[in-house]
């Protein structure tokens, strides 16, 4: 129901019962916030969104106050501005002064707030806090000294990822965000999804950077540095480039990396296609077998999900497809197959994976992904790190020549590109299943999308004689709820479940450029769909190189890893 | 499990979140303090992350993660006691016991806790040692008390 | 009493008293009640005040001594572990009631005084130890020459509506409580009034929250009653972490059944089926007495299902709260009950709409609740007879600090602070002058010489920029440094802040840093630091407004007032600390620099011997020297030196 309120002496029409903050923002009023996250209930922790409301003696936090008909609000009175500025000064009072050396210099929310409030002097000098940074994890670096206790990371880890690897410890000024007994993140229940990094306003949470390693490798004459770019990373880069160069991103990125000193720039699409074919093959096997106990088959390309399953739902690990993720198929293809075919020693190759995923850094450290001490993937760069790398070498993707990616791994089908968003993987696998189990050989294949956000992400497809059920969930909360429900209802009509730990799939990955709000995955999906239309083949098996490799070698992961080549 | 907690868990058969604090209180009452193992077992039983439980336990003043001394000193530092000189007494007591507030000494003999308001404000300043109250204390009487305990303990050894 | 006699007693109390509204009209019933309540006794009764304050004063030892005496002399006497009448200065208190004679009270009865006291009194003789007083009662024979307790200066000015049974009845005897009118309100209410009517009565009475909030209890209840929900909760806030307040604990220990009755009526009024009494876990005596009282009430059918066939179902449970001052804030308390960190939540939504587990919840203070059975029994108009126009009823204060009569007192709203201090409180103790009265820590108020004549009234305190607070009443004399008090309160807030919101978490820390700077040991670079200190204090004034306007809960909102009020009333002391680096009251030890004048010192070693921290070095007949690093500034050397050789810089 609509009602009228007065803001800064102007009358506005708003919806009764909605929060004052959202009403103000919809009408274009600028209200700073810190602890606020869209789609999460307000906590009223930071107090930055305070406004003056007639009849209330104190200032009111607009995030937690519902609109009331006839209320009179002032969003920028002297009192309000003074309060907001003081709050920012208080935040700065025990924040380190090392902006120039900080990873988030230039795009830090606290910096932005200080600039907005016109903070020009350090008013308070607090005692130095003894907070050692925690670099124990393979993926997420913590620097508690920069933490502003906004609670966003805690909430996303608890409410969206259902892990609670970190929480508030102690009380008052001694409050810290940490895991129990102040142990490092590497021994906590962290699943390395990196969603906390996405929501952190400062550099309290960042990637464990592989830039130094990569720089060292690039400078090492003995090493042949080979970049493997995932299609999802191409999508992310495309999103940030100006319109003219959008369809040239692959070529320009290749050129840029070659200028850096990369000896090869590959597309991980081939590996992704192989991965999809293997999962489809395993699915077909399970559907055809008499024993249905290992159904449904659950996707295996998300290392965060695998970590979650191992830690929290061990009974589900038998359902996970036995195949490496595309990144590691690519790594093993390069280090074992390519190396042998081109007579290069495995130790002389340095593979760098570029991906919007932070958990890949964790995956690269798994024992099954190393051979005699040599990792399949030597370094993983997130899209963020990629930009830092290019910038530090003075490379501008807007103004650079174009170069083709290197053979033999330089193509991907539309199926490989689809892996970058939630639902895409399931679709690709379904398409392949058509191939294997008969039925019409559809080239372009899209699932029926569910009608609303709340309806389940499931669909049934008739493949051959079987009605095969596919489901896709993103974020652990959705995954957990869905899997629990499936288990309780004892349904047997779902045969394949795609699980992505990040909301929206890799489009919302922990390694994506940081943006507030949750709108980016949609935008990235749109770009992805455009790219799929231009792909050389629609389904995974259409990729001739991938099909050939798939034919020659076995990519099934058994208990003991065997060199498939 | 390394710690026996079944008898405490039995009291809370439906394992709900609101049982967390009473459970931790019961465990500490029995065992004197909480340990990492205890937190893990409680986490498993209630289905709550260990990090969350640790966050709850460290919020409140009364949960401990280490044992108290054989002689646990509780010095009151409420308003009336402050007016009666509790600050100076605290500094002195810390020197006498050779520990800071919130610590236990290496031999497990003494531990010190500063509390705000035992609720006998007329008899300020006061201190409680193992449930014995000493009222209207002075620097001298404090020193005498600590000396007496040290003497007694040395005799026993 | 035999089991049969007990059951008969119980049936009598239920049928003839609780369920019969005309109980008072029967002379036979009245006589029985007179004996059951302890007003009259068949055999001698000895009552030892054993609330926590009594125990701290040594009442346990007194009790044991009495027990031993009775055993040794083979005397059959009813011995009661009692509650607290409030006169803590006189603890341990022992009351004796012989059959037919008025109850007589003796103060300061330490265990060594037991034998001579009992030797005389049990033989109907007044002992050598002067009694504190006797309780007036026309149906009992008075003791000759013993003054009445009611006329004692400590009690004369009080109006004991809530504390009427405290220190008089056996706290854990439900029979005595019922005999004295207890639970009558509850059973009458559930059989004759609807919940809406009860809320209305409380609203009309003007009962305002006694925890410091001062909100209308009735309005809160009405809000909860009108919110539709299957589950509603009544929570009693017995956290009481305000340093200097212990009246809630004292009245629970002395009369737990009154709290239970109040909680039951309140739960009925809002439509709640479950009531929780959230009490600090350190209050072990209060908890054990409360739990015993609850099981007694349950056994009697007063708590539980279909109470006395009324269709009303209410269950009462005690919840032990883990220790944090912020638990006293109602939304933080609710979060703590739910098993979370006690961080306050934003309001709206208010607990009356969405509280415990998102259900309508009312959180009431203990003292507020204690008023409820009386208001229901006597009516809202009766409540208006006491108090002022805006503040009805009484207020309980815990008097402490530098005054003669300390303890727990109940005064009518409208009494002046001067009268409380000088009449009831007996005036200042010691020779130093009155400086200020500190009320509850969340009140942000000082009562100074200028405001001593204001009345105990919510509005009058608001007019001086403060609040009534929880009821703490700490008297300060000129020996107290107000800058140090401001620092103490700021440190308290900083330590107890939950850390959720920026203004309180960071603000209290910054304010404390300013205060520590003001009281820090001076070093060489004087003028630069003076400017720093002054700047700090000025910044503080700016910051204080922001902290109090933007903080999430009342802890943060009231945190700056300790400093602001000290600045307002005691600016001279502040200036002396900042500019002259002097503490007039000699409390700020870092500002006390003692040194020995080598010319005046005779080497008598008096100071050397007396120094409690061995900070003085020197040999006999040679001038002594104070080691500044070890010196704690206690001033003992200054006191003992006969040659004026110890100087304060």
pLDDT 10s digits, C404-452: 999 999 999 999 999 999 999 999 999 999 999 999 888 878 899 999 9
Chain C: closest CA distance from residue A65 (Å): 6
Q: Which residues contact A490 (CB under 8 A, 6 or more apart)?
A: none
pLDDT at A29 over 70: yes
Per mean pLDDT, which range of A317-326, A496-505, C511-520 is the poorest? Answer: C511-520
Taking one residue from B and the other from C, the number of pairs with CB-CB distance under 8 angstroms is: 127
* Per-residue pLDDT band at A453 (split at 50, 70, 90): low
Give residue for tokens 């600016």: C571
Which of the four pLDDT bands, split at 50, 70 and 90, describes residue A337? confident
Q: What is the mean pLDDT of residues C272-286?
A: 95
Buried b (16+ CB within 10 A) or exposed e, C120-143: ebbeeeebebebbbbbeeeebeeb
Residues of chain B contacting A, Cβ within 8 Å: 36, 39, 49-55, 58-59
Span C115-136, average pLDDT: 93
- pLDDT tens digits for C18-60? 998 888 888 999 998 999 999 999 999 999 999 998 999 999 9
- Contacting chains of A (3 CB pairs or more, <8 Å) are B, C
The yes/no answer to whether this complex scores an ipTM above 0.90 is yes
Mean pLDDT calculated for residue range C284-302: 96
Is the pLDDT at A483 greater than 70? The verdict is yes
A288-297, A414-423, C231-240, range with the lowest pLDDT: A288-297
Distance from the A158 Cα atom to the nearest Cα atom in chain B, whole angstroms: 9
Question: Do residues C648 and C592 make contact, with C-beta atoms less than 8 angstroms apart?
Answer: yes
pLDDT above 80 (res B39): yes
Element (H, E) at C407: strand C407-412
Q: By mean pLDDT, which of A225-229, B94-98, C147-151, C163-167 is the weakest?
A: B94-98
CB contact under 8 A, C502 and A47: yes
DSSP letter assigned to residue A447: P
Q: What is the pLDDT of residues C526-543, one digit of tens each?
A: 666 777 777 888 888 889
Q: Is C301 left (phi over 0), alpha (psi -120 to 50) or beta?
A: left
Across the A/B interface, how many CB contacts are shorter than 8 Å? 40
CA separation for the pair C594, C648 (Å, rounded): 5
Joined together, the tokens standing for residue C198 give 């009860």
Contacts of residue A162 in chain B, CB cutoff 8 Å?
none
- Say if the Cβ atoms of B95 and C613 lie within 8 Å: yes
Best to test chain B binding among A142, A163, A172, A180 (most B CBs inside 10 Å): A180
User: Mean per-residue pLDDT for C552-570?
Assistant: 91
CATH superfamily of B71-156: Glutaredoxin (3.40.30.10)
Phi/psi of residue C153, each to 5°?
-55, -30
A105-146 pLDDT, tens digit per residue, is 999 999 999 999 999 988 887 766 677 899 999 999 999 999
> Within A393-452, where are the H helices?
414-418, 424-437
Mutate to test the interface with A, among C332, C335, C499, C511 (most CBs of A within 10 A): C499
Nearest to A65 among C348, C494, C539 (CB): C348
What's the Rg (C-alpha) of chain B?
18
* Lowest mean pLDDT, pick from B110-114, C75-79, C436-440, C523-527: C523-527
A294 in B contact zone (CB under 8 Å): no
* Partner C contacted by A114 (CB < 8 A): no
Residues ≥6 apart with Cβ < 8 Å to C552: A44, A45, A47, A61, C344, C346, C500, C501, C504
Question: Which residue among C346, C539, C545 places its CB closest to the CB of A64?
Answer: C346
Asked if residue A357 lies in contact with residue A510, where contact means CB atoms within 8 angstroms, the answer is yes
Interchain proximity A180–B36, CB inside 8 Å: yes
Report pLDDT for A132: 87
Q: Find residues 563-592 of chain C whose CB sits inside 8 Å of chain B.
A: 589
Q: Which residue of C has its CA nearest to A92?
A: C506
Tell me, what's the pLDDT at C647? 85
The answer to whether the beta carbons of residues A432 and A276 sit under 8 Å apart is yes
Q: Across the interface, do A167 and B55 touch by the CB < 8 Å criterion? A: yes
Q: C632 or A117, which is more confident?
A: A117
* CB atoms C398 and B82 under 8 Å: no
Per the CB < 8 Å rule, is C400 touching B88? no
From B22, B80, B88, residue closest to C320, measured CB to CB: B22
Q: How far apart are CA C206 and CA A511, in angstroms?
A: 60
pLDDT at C382: 93
The closest of C351, C441, C367 to C214, measured between CA atoms, is C367
Chain C 39-78, residues with CB within 8 Å of chain B CB atoms: 52-53, 55-57
Set of chain A residues whose Cβ sits within 8 Å of the Cβ of B36: 180-181
Any idea where the domains of chain B sit in the sequence?
Answer: 6-59, 71-156
C551 contacts A126? CB cut-off 8 A? no
CA distance A19 to chain C (A): 11
Q: State the average pLDDT over residues B82-108.
A: 90
Residue A52 has pLDDT above 60, yes or no: yes
Residue with the bigger pLDDT between A194 and B153: it is: A194
Please give the Cα distance from A317 to A303 (Å, whole number).
12
Report residue A454's pLDDT band, with 50, 70 and 90 as the boundaries.
low
Cβ of A168 within 8 Å of Cβ of C542? The answer is no
Cis preceding-peptide flag for A296 (omega within 30 of 0): yes
A163 touches chain B (CB under 8 A): yes
Q: Is residue A273 pLDDT above 90, yes or no? A: yes
**Dihedral sign (CA C280, C285, C286, C292):** positive
> Residue A92: exposed, middle, or buried by beta-carbon count in 10 A (0-12, 13-18, 19+)?
buried
A62-80 tens-digit pLDDT: 999 999 999 999 999 999 9
- When CB atoms are compared, the residue of A44, A87, A168 closest to C552 is A44
| Percent of the residues in chain C that have a pLDDT greater than 90, as a whole number | 71
Domains in chain A: ranges and CATH:
2-76 (3.10.20.740), 92-207 (3.30.70.20), 211-271+326-399 (3.40.50.1780), 291-314+413-552 (3.40.950.10)
Question: Can you give C220-256 as a three-state secondary structure string?
Answer: HHHHHHHCCCCCCEEEEEECCCCCCCCHHHHHHHHCH
Q: Is C438 on the interface with B (CB under 8 A)?
A: yes
Q: Over 90: is that where the pLDDT of C517 sits?
A: no
- pLDDT-derived band at A39 (thresholds 50, 70, 90) equals confident
- As a whole-number percent, the residues of chain A with pLDDT over 90 amount to 67
pLDDT the model gives residue A184: 87
Q: Any CB–CB contact under 8 A between A124 and chain B?
A: no
Residue in this structure with the two tokens 């739902």, named with its chain if needed: A313
Q: In the prediction, which pLDDT does C590 show?
A: 77
CB C476 within 8 A of CB B83: yes
Predicted local confidence at residue A451, as pLDDT = 62
Which residues touch C396 (CB under 8 Å, ≥6 apart)? C162, C163, C210, C247, C251, C367, C408, C409, C410, C471
CB contact under 8 A, A171 and B58: yes
pLDDT over 70 for what percent of chain A?
Answer: 94
pLDDT value at position C638? 84
CB proximity C355 to B under 8 Å? no
Q: Chains that contact C by 3+ CB pairs under 8 Å?
A: A, B
Q: Over 60: is that where the pLDDT of C237 sits?
A: yes
Residue B155 clears pLDDT 80, i.e. is over it:
no
Residue C485 has a pLDDT of 93
Residue A285 neighbours by CB distance under 10 Å: 13
Q: Return d(Cα A143, Cα A171) in angstroms, integer.
A: 19
- B95 three-state secondary structure: helix
Whole-angstrom distance, CA of residue C65 vs CA of residue B63: 36
- The reported pLDDT for the residue numbered A517 is 62
**Least reliable range by pLDDT among A241-250, B62-71, C162-171, C289-298:** A241-250
> Which tokens in the block code for residue A230?
């995932």
Cα–Cα distance for residue pair C236/C213, rounded to 1 Å: 14
Q: Residues C151-162: what's their mean pLDDT?
A: 95
Query: Average pLDDT for residues C367-392, to the nearest whole number?
Result: 93
Tell me: pLDDT of C592 over 80: no
* Digit-coded pLDDT (tens) for A218-267: 999 999 999 999 999 999 999 888 666 677 899 999 999 999 999 999 99
d(CA A8, CA A81) in angstroms, rounded, equals 14
pLDDT tens-place string over residues A339-387: 888 999 888 999 999 999 999 999 999 988 887 778 899 999 999 999 9
Work out the angle between the directed axes of helices C482-496 and C561-569 (0-180°, nearest 10).
Answer: 170
Mean pLDDT of chain A: 90
Position A307 scores a pLDDT of: 95
- How far is residue A289 from each of residues A284, A285, A434, A495, measured CA to CA in Å? 9, 6, 17, 13
């Amino acid at each position: 129901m609509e009602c009228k309120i007065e803001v800064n002496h102007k009358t506005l029409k708003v919806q009764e019962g909605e929060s004052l903050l959202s009403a103000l923002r919809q009408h274009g009023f600028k209200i700073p916030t810190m602890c606020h996250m869209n789609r999460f209930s307000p906590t009223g922790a930071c107090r930055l969104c305070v406004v003056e409301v007639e009849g209330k003696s104190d200032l009111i936090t607009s995030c937690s106050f519902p609109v009331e008909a006839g209320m009179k609000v002032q969003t920028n009175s002297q009192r309000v501005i003074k309060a907001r500025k003081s709050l920012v000064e208080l935040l700065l009072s025990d924040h380190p002064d090392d902006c120039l050396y900080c990873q988030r210099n230039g795009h830090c929310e606290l910096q932005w707030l200080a600039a907005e409030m016109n903070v020009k002097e350090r008013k308070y000098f607090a005692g130095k806090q003894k907070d050692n940074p925690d670099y124990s994890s393979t993926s997420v670096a913590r620097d508690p000294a920069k933490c502003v206790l906004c609670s966003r990371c805690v909430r996303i880890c608890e409410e969206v990822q259902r892990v609670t690897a970190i929480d508030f410890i102690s009380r008052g000024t001694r409050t810290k965000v940490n895991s129990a007994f102040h142990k490092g993140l590497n021994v906590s229940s962290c699943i390395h999804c990196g969603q906390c990094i996405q929501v952190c306003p400062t550099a309290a949470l960042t990637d464990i950077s592989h830039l130094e390693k990569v720089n060292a490798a690039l400078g090492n004459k003995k090493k042949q540095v080979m970049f493997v770019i995932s299609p999802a990373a191409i999508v992310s880069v495309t999103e940030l480039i100006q319109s003219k160069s959008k369809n040239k991103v692959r070529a320009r990125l290749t050129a840029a990396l070659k200028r850096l000193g990369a000896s090869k720039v590959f597309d991980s699409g081939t590996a992704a296609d192989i991965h999809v074919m293997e999962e489809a093959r395993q699915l077909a096997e399970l559907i055809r077998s008499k024993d249905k106990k290992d159904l449904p088959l659950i996707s295996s390309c998300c290392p965060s999900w695998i970590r979650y399953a191992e830690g929290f739902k061990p009974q589900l690990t038998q359902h996970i497809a036995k195949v490496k993720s595309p990144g590691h198929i690519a790594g093993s293809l390069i280090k074992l197959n390519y190396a042998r075919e081109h007579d290069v020693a495995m130790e002389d190759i340095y593979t760098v994976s570029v991906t919007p995923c932070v958990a890949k850094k964790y995956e690269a450290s798994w024992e099954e992904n190393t051979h005699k001490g040599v990792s399949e993937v030597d370094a993983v760069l997130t899209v963020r790190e990629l930009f830092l790398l290019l910038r530090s070498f003075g490379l501008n993707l807007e103004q650079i020549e174009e170069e083709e990616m290197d053979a033999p791994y330089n193509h991907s089908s539309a199926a490989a590109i689809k892996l970058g968003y939630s639902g895409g993987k399931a679709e690709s696998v379904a398409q392949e299943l058509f191939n294997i189990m008969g039925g019409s050989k559809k080239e372009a294949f899209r699932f029926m999308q569910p009608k609303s956000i709340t309806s389940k992400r499931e669909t049934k497809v008739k493949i051959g004689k079987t009605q095969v059920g596919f489901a896709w969930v993103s974020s652990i909360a959705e995954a957990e709820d869905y899997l629990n429900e499936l288990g309780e209802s004892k349904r047997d009509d779902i045969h394949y479940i795609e699980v992505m730990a990040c909301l929206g799939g890799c489009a919302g990955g922990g390694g994506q450029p940081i943006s507030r709000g949750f709108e980016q995955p949609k935008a990235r999906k749109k770009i992805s769909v455009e790219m799929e239309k231009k792909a050389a083949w629609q389904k995974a098996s259409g990729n001739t190189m991938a099909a050939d490799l798939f034919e020659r070698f076995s990519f099934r992961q058994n208990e003991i890893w065997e060199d498939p080549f | 499990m390394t710690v026996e907690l079944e008898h405490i868990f039995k009291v809370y058969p439906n394992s709900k979140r609101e049982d967390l604090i009473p459970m931790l209180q019961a465990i500490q009452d029995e065992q004197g303090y909480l340990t990492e193992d205890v937190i893990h077992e409680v986490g498993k039983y209630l289905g709550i992350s260990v990090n969350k439980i640790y966050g709850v336990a460290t919020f409140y003043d009364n949960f401990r993660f280490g044992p108290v001394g054989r002689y646990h000193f509780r010095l009151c530092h409420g308003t009336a006691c402050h007016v009666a000189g509790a600050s100076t007494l605290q500094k002195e007591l810390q020197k006498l016991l050779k520990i800071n507030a919130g610590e236990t000494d290496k031999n497990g003999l003494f531990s010190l806790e500063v509390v705000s308001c035992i609720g006998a404000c007329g008899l300020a300043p006061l201190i409680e040692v193992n449930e014995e109250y000493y009222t209207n204390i002075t620097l001298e009487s404090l020193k005498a008390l600590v000396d007496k305990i040290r003497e007694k303990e040395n005799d026993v050894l | 009493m035999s089991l049969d006699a007990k059951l008969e007693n119980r049936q009598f109390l239920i049928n003839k008293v609780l369920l019969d509204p005309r109980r008072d009209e029967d002379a036979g019933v009245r006589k029985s009640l007179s004996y059951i309540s302890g007003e009259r006794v068949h055999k001698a009764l000895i009552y030892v005040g054993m609330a926590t304050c009594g125990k701290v004063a040594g009442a346990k030892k007194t009790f044991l001594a009495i027990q031993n005496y009775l055993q040794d002399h083979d005397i059959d006497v009813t011995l009661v572990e009692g509650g607290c009448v409030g006169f803590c200065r006189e603890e341990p208190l022992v009351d004796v009631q012989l059959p037919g004679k008025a109850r007589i009270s003796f103060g300061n009865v330490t265990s060594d005084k037991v034998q001579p006291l009992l030797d005389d009194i049990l033989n109907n003789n007044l002992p050598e130890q002067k009694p504190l007083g006797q309780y007036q009662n026309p149906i009992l024979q008075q003791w000759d020459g013993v003054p009445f307790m009611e006329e004692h200066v400590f009690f004369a000015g009080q109006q004991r509506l809530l504390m009427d049974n405290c220190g008089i009845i056996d706290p854990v005897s439900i029979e005595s409580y019922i005999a004295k009118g207890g639970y009558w309100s509850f059973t009458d209410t559930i059989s004759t009034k609807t919940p809406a009517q009860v809320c209305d009565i409380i609203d009309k009475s003007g009962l305002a929250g006694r925890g410091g909030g001062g909100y209308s209890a009735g309005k809160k209840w009405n809000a909860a009653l009108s919110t539709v929900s299957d589950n509603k909760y009544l929570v009693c806030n017995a956290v009481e972490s305000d340093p200097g307040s212990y009246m809630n604990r004292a009245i629970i220990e002395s009369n737990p059944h009154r709290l239970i009755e109040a909680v039951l009526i309140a739960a009925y009024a809002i439509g709640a089926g479950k009531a929780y009494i959230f009490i600090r876990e350190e209050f072990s005596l209060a908890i054990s007495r409360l739990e015993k009282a609850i099981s007694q009430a349950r056994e009697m059918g007063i708590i539980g299902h279909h109470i006395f066939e009324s269709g009303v179902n209410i269950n009462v449970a005690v919840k032990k709260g883990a220790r944090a001052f912020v638990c006293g804030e109602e939304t933080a308390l609710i979060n703590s009950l739910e098993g979370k960190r006690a961080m306050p939540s934003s309001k709206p939504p208010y607990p009356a709409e969405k509280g415990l587990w998102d259900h309508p919840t009312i959180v009431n203070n203990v003292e507020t609740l204690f008023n409820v059975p009386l208001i229901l029994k006597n009516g809202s108009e009766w409540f208006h007879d006491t108090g002022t126009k805006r503040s009805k009823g009484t207020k309980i204060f815990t008097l402490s600090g530098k005054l003669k009569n300390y303890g727990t007192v109940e005064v009518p709203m409208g009494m002046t602070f001067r009268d409380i201090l000088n009449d009831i409180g007996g005036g200042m103790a010691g020779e130093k002058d009155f400086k200020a009265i500190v009320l509850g820590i969340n009140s942000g108020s000082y009562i100074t010489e200028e405001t001593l004549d204001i009345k105990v009234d919510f509005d009058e305190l608001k007019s001086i920029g403060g609040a009534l607070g929880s009821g703490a009443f700490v008297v300060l004399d000129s020996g107290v440094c107000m800058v140090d008090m401001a620092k103490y309160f700021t440190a308290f807030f900083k330590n107890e802040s939950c850390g959720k919101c920026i203004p309180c978490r960071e603000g209290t820390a910054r304010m404390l840093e300013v205060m520590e700077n003001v009281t820090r040991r001076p070093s060489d670079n004087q003028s630069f630091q003076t400017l720093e200190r002054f700047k700090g204090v000025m910044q503080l004034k700016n910051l204080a407004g922001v902290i109090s306007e933007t903080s999430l809960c009342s802890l943060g909102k009231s945190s700056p007032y300790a400093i602001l009020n000290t600045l307002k009333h005691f600016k001279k002391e502040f200036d002396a600390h900042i500019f002259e680096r002097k503490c007039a009251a000699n409390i700020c030890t870092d500002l006390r620099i003692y040194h020995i004048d080598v010319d005046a010192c005779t080497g008598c070693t008096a100071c050397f011997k007396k120094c409690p921290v061995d900070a003085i070095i020197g040999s006999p007949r040679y001038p002594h020297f104070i080691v500044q690093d070890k010196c704690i500034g206690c001033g003992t050397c200054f006191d003992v030196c006969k040659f004026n050789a110890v100087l304060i810089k």
